[in-house]
Amino acid sequence: MRVVITGGSGLIGGALARELGAAGHDVVILTRDVGKTRAGGLPAGVRVVQWDGKTAAGWGSLLDADTAIVHLAGESIAAGRWTAERKRRIRDSRVVSGQAVLEAIRAAAVKPRALLQGSAVGYYGPRGDESLGEDAAPGGDFLAEVCKAWEASTAEAEALGVRRVVLRTGVVLARHGGALPKIALPFKMLAGGRLGDGRQWLSWIHLADEVGAIRFLLEREDARGPFNLAAPSPVTNRDLTRVLAKVLHRPGFLPAPAFALRLALGEMADMLLTGQRAVPSRLLALGFAFRHPEIEPALRSLFA
């Protein structure tokens, strides 16, 4: 099977390309920065194609009946304060690229076999202690609105006869890249602690399970609609702090007050001080087996 990956230079896309390439699939990464993507280290046979992120120009001809698209492109939400301009870029990088993917599907004489559309558990908005399966209603904050627009950008693919899966991903934990090195840094500097009151939930997933779940959904012809890609055991920030301090053999008793985070980060602090207790109900129902379902063994595997 040919798999076309947008956002293939990112943490998830790069790991997925390596996994699928090593398994013998014909993998094509679409990226704005060909040199950077190749420098990241890819298996032989994985192709890298220049893409402007806005159109189907240069890659639409890759689509056929044995092709699947994994659409993960989107600017990082944690790269800086959420100014009005950054918020626009965060949204447009997802929605405009999604519209380009849909443009390619519309133009294809033979439609691809599947589209896996990126999204995030932020779709549900801040929900306190509520346990959130895939049938939960969307939220109304900035990230929820971004996720709704991101998902909607390719919704028409279903009417075109393409099997479509929506990947509502939690916080992906990896040793190098993503959120974990930033979370762990204060602990390594002996300044770690909970954020705010520590009661906010974190829906997390080990990178190996994120890649495994995407591959599982690619190969399951009966998989359609939204799936929460998150471990079956979400944790509160307080519990994450305790476990991370234990795994790193560092103290974790210096909390970061909510007012200080808001002063330093502005609106982006809400992402750290609120959360979602998302559970992977539909993945488990299909029989997906997590390699790292619990937070302490998952962290130990990453810091071993």
Give the model confidence (pLDDT) of 236-286 as tens digits: 999 999 999 999 999 998 889 898 888 888 888 888 999 999 999 999 999
Q: Over pLDDT 90: what percentage of the chain?
A: 78
Q: Cβ distance 237 to 177 under 8 Å?
A: no
The DSSP 8-state label assigned to residue 221 in this structure reads T
Average pLDDT over residues 137-165: 97
pLDDT classification of 16: cutoffs 50, 70, 90: very high
Given a cut of 70, whether residue 40 has pLDDT beyond it is no
SS3 content of the chain, % helix, strand, coil (to 5): 40, 20, 40
Rounded CA-CA distance 152/120 in Å is 13
Instruction: Sort 17 into a burial class: Cβ within 10 Å, 0-12 / 13-18 / 19+.
Output: buried
Q: Read off the tokens for 78.
A: 């944690």
Rounded CA-CA distance 36/156 in Å is 32
In which residue are the tokens 């998989």 written? 223
DSSP codes of every residue in 107-144: H-SS--SEEEEEEEGGGG---TT-EE-TTSPP--SHHH
Domains with residue ranges and CATH for the chain? 2-172+206-230+280-288 (3.40.50.720)
165 alpha carbon, distance to own chain's centre: 14
